[in-house]
Amino acid sequence: QQPVQSPQAVILREGEDAVINCSSSKALYSVHWYRQKHGEAPVFLMILLKGGEQKGHEKISASFNEKKQQSSLYLTASQLSYSGTYFCGTESGGTSYGKLTFGQGTILTVHP
């Protein structure tokens, strides 16, 4: 079952902040975040493990609430280069290691 991402789309001005959420109905071992530019392959951003870990990548960070099976991606002081579609991918562990189930994506558009 696919995780659910919200919102479906976000429009920002340069410098503004955004939060993208990812929720799953299944117990999760990890959450992956990827960004995809139009016509290109998804590119890895970060992985979060169960345990409420928060990680950062430049001005992009994320958190993972294991109890709620939710992850959030935080984009601060957005830049034009942040535009694209963001996907969360969830991994349930056990015999499903390496098997990701992706959300439907959140389209982020940053304007000058």
Q: Does 37 bind another protein (CB under 8 A)?
A: no
Interface residue with another protein among 84, 89, 90, 110 (CB under 8 A) is 89
Beta strand segments in 52-93, E: 54-57, 60-65, 70-75, 84-91
Q: Are 85 and 9 in contact (CB under 8 A)?
A: no
d(CA 49, CA 92): 11
Does the footprint of another protein cover residue 2 (CB under 8 A)? yes
Element (H, E) at 56: strand 54-57
Return the number of the residue (70 or 91) whose C-beta is nearest another protein: 91
Is position 29 an interface residue for another protein (rule: CB under 8 A)?
yes
Q: Which residues bind another protein (CB under 8 A)?
A: 2, 5, 29-30, 32, 34, 40-44, 47, 49, 87, 89, 91, 93, 97-105
